[in-house]
C-alpha cells in the first residue's frame, strides 16, 4: 500500500462515505462493487475518458497499482443494504417487471450485485440510479457503456423511476 493510503481513502470517503457507503443520494456507494468495475472507472476518470467534474484532479499521479488496491479495498467492503425509505409496492413491482423485460439481470446478475466490469446496482441510492439511467439513455458519452444506452432506449422517465425504485429497494 502507498504511504499516503489513509489520506487517499479519506479523500474517497469524503464523498463516497466511510467504507464506501455514501450518505449522499447523488453519489454512488463503492462498497461491494466488483473490483474490475472500480478499477476500470478509476482509470477512465484518471485518463479523462470519463468526465466526473467532482473528481477532476483527484486521481492525478495515482498509479495503476494504487488504483488496483483502492478497487480491492472497496470491493471487499460490505455492500449497502436496500433503501430504508418506504417502498412503494406498485412502483417496486413495475420496476421489477421492467428490469425483467429488459433483461437487467443478464449483465448485472439476477440479484443485481454486478460482476466483472458491470456495476452493482442493488441497494444504490434511488436518486443516483435514476440520474445515471437518464444520462445513459439521453446523453451517452465517452467512458459510458453503449450497451446500457441501447438497453434503456424507449423507456420513459416513469419507467426509469420505477426501475430505480426497485433496484434501490433490492438487497
Extract the annotated binding site: 12, 15-16, 55, 104, 107-108, 148
d(CA 16, CA 70): 13
Q: C-alpha dihedral over 26, 169, 109, 53, to 10 degrees?
A: 0
Distances (CA, A) of 28 to 1, 67, 101, 112, 138: 24, 18, 25, 15, 20
Binding-site residues for heme c sit at: 12, 15-16, 55, 104, 107-108, 148
d(CA 165, CA 162): 5
d(CA 9, CA 41): 16
Grid cell 466526473 is found at: 52
Amino acid at each position: 500500500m502507498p504511504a499516503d493510503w489513509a489520506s487517499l481513502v479519506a479523500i474517497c470517503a469524503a464523498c463516497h462515505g466511510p467504507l464506501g457507503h455514501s450518505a449522499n443520494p447523488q453519489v454512488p456507494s463503492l462498497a461491494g462493487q466488483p473490483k474490475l468495475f472500480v478499477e476500470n472507472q478509476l482509470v477512465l476518470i484518471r485518463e479523462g475518458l470519463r468526465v466526473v467534474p467532482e473528481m477532476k484532479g483527484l486521481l492525478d499521479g495515482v498509479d495503476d497499482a494504487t488504483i488496483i488496491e483502492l478497487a480491492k479495498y472497496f470491493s471487499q467492503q460490505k455492500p449497502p443494504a436496500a433503501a430504508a425509505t418506504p417502498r412503494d409496492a406498485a412502483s417496486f413491482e413495475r420496476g421489477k417487471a421492467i428490469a425483467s423485460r429488459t433483461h437487467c439481470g443478464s449483465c448485472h446478475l439476477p440479484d443485481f450485485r454486478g460482476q466483472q466490469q458491470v456495476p452493482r446496482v442493488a441497494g444504490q441510492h434511488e436518486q443516483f440510479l435514476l440520474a445515471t439511467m437518464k444520462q445513459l439513455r439521453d446523453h451517452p458519452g465517452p467512458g459510458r457503456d453503449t450497451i446500457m444506452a441501447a438497453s434503456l432506449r424507449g423507456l420513459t422517465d416513469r419507467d426509469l423511476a420505477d426501475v430505480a425504485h426497485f433496484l434501490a429497494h433490492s438487497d
